[in-house]
Chain A
Amino acid sequence: MIIAEWKPIAEIVARLEGCRSILVAGCATCVAECAAGGEREVESLAPLIQMALAQRGSPVNVFTATLERQCEPEFIEPLFPRMNTVDAVVSIACGIGIQTLGDRFDPIPVYPGVNTTSLAVREEPGRWTVRCEACGSCVLGDTFGLCPIARCAKSLLNGPCGGTRENGKCEVNSDVDCIWLKIYERAMARGKLEALLGIQPTRNWSNSRHGGQKVMIREELRP
């Protein structure tokens, strides 16, 4: 799922001073799963914003909405009739939802209430870790299903750097496994060491952000 983290309240309200009416908009999909931008978080953030702005002498009406999917225009549409009274929106959906809302409600400003951080999995309650960088050229078939692009601090393709700690953790973050150690262990467990002995050539990064703004066309689905 896409995961996000709350921005500091001070950063959020700094943009809202002078507003008389705002909408706090959540999304019931990925960011709800990671407890950052779902209905529960919308309903906790709204009063915090209201209080913070009141303390700054800028009282505001806050109303809330949690859309089924903020990245899909049809889920946004029902909000539209209410928008004529809104001065600004705080969205706690992912960056995709925030932009979709911003396009639809232009010129009403839509501010991010979260930082979208990665494509991650919930490893255990309260802990999410990255799994994918959407790099556009998947290597999981070569790396025993463990992604070194997202999970190695240096995105190495030819095995671990010298920074694997004695306990198997990464030197950059002692809280995460050296993913190349895990890849090696899986290779050994499957009797496939030879799969790691060849040199992986340089990558073509152009199917990701590095190739310019990414657009995907599927002709058979076009109108």
Chain B
Amino acid sequence: MNTKAGSRLEQVLKAGEFAVTVEVGPPRGPNAGAVIDKARLLTGVADGYNVTDNQTAVVRMSSIAASKILLDEGLEPVMQMVCRDRNRIAMQSDLLGASALGIRNVLCLSGDHQKASASGKLKGHPGAKNVYDIDSIQLVSMVAGMRDRAVQEGGDPLTEPTPFWIGAAWTPLAPPTDFRVFRLAKKVQAGADFIQTQAIFDLRAFAHAMQQAVELGITERTFILGGVIVPKSAAMLRYMQRNVPGVVVPEALIDRMSQAKDPLQEGVAITLELIAGLRAIPGVKGVHLQAIEAEHLLPEILHAVGLLPRPMGI
């Protein structure tokens, strides 16, 4: 198989297998044990494990360090990198370091604004200065240059190419929805090998967006993984519906959760339906699963939809 970075995720997708990635949020502390515990809980359930980069602008263990801990546990990280906190100098330096540590997947994101850090129960750092020297699409281009041409963004050569399988995000259902597919096309043109979408709850709306992506030929040039968040309560769905732009939650789903005797079990049932629904949409090549503070549910979910065991020998 001809590969760009040789990561497991790359090989699974290129082999035509329906890929599974899951999210592993690093701890708000220095304890490697917290990452190791999650790693052991989730060993074998996914092809790649997304390690978030200070998501919602709350300080956590760095995604590079947590990614390395996963590697040591035998799991393949998808290291997330955001444009909020570092300029192009620091980002390239960290990419070289991550590559040296054996990290082979990187997901390029703009990143939540620092004001988001104070939106929940935590104080965060809303008074922090942000960077945004480059944006997520420029970051994709930069990583592609480091890999394909062994060149830094400023034009200086690297001693050798930096192998990364490059990912980017897609929020198909945020306004202006008609433009979102074109912005996706820009990411793919910049060099995005795979795409993880914002969480999908409205399969019909997403199927329409996917149809646009297919018609533009985007699905021939990148691998799109549909995002799924395991709903745990009606309140959680309502919160996302009202407060997370781009996450469209149909009212019927909230009704269903609020009437459920066991909301968590109902959430698992909904998740199974969403995964099955995503698999049926032309052009979808995998799922990206998030079970926030409920990672223990993931093995059961993936088993139930027939996605376990993950392909061996890759």
Contacts and interface: CB of A to CB of B under 8 A. Distances in A.
Interface string A157-201: 111111111101001110000100100110000000100111111
B142 A178 contact: no
A184 B113 contact: no
A163 B246 contact: yes
A184 B113 CA distance: 22
A34 B231 CA distance: 48
A58 interface: no
Interface string B27-41: 000000000000000
A75 interface: no
Nearest to A187: B179
Contact of B110 (A154, A181, A184, A205): A154
A156 interface: yes
A155 B186 CA distance: 17
B160 to A, nearest CB: 23
Contacts of A166: 175, 245
Interface string A124-158: 00000000000000000000000000000111111
Contacts, number: 94
Interface string B238-272: 00000001100000000000000000000000000
- Interface-centre pick from B153, B175, B198 (highest chain A CB count, 10 A): B175
Contacts of B115: 153, 172-173
Nearest to B197: A162
Contacts of B135: 154-158
A197 B186 contact: yes
Interface in B118-144: 130, 132-138, 141-142
Contact of A164 (B111, B169, B190, B245): B245
10 contacts: A161-B110, A166-B175, A171-B116, A181-B176, A184-B176, A199-B137, A199-B138, A200-B138, A202-B88, A203-B134
A207 B190 CA distance: 26
A172 B245 CA distance: 11
B189 interface: yes
Interface string B160-192: 000000000101001110010011011001100
A86 B18 CA distance: 77
Contacts of B153: 202
A193 B136 CA distance: 21
A160 B183 contact: yes
A15 to B, nearest CB: 22
A158 B140 CA distance: 12
Nearest to B191: A199
Interface residues on B, range: 20 to 34
Q: Report, nearest first, the 9 A-B pairs whose CB atoms are least far apart.
A: A162-B171, A158-B137, A159-B183, A162-B246, A161-B110, A172-B113, A156-B135, A155-B132, A202-B138
B139 to A, nearest CB: 9
Contact of B132 (A156, A159, A198, A199): A156
Given A166-B245, A171-B113, A205-B133, A158 B175 contact: no
B84 interface: yes
A205 B142 CA distance: 17
B13 interface: no
A185 to B, nearest CB: 7
B83 interface: yes
Contacts of A201: 138, 141
A39 B246 CA distance: 47
Contacts of A184: 176, 179
B246 A164 contact: yes
Given A154-B83, A158-B183, A205-B133, A163 B175 contact: no
A153 B179 contact: no
Contacts of A159: 137, 179, 182-183, 186
Nearest to B139: A202
Interface string A196-223: 1111111101000000000000000000
A158 B174 CA distance: 15
A197 B185 contact: yes
A30 B95 CA distance: 45
B240 to A, nearest CB: 12
A205 to B, nearest CB: 7
Contacts of B169: 162
A12 to B, nearest CB: 21
A202 B153 CA distance: 9
Nearest to A167: B175
A110 B224 CA distance: 59
A156 B110 contact: yes
A158 B179 CA distance: 11
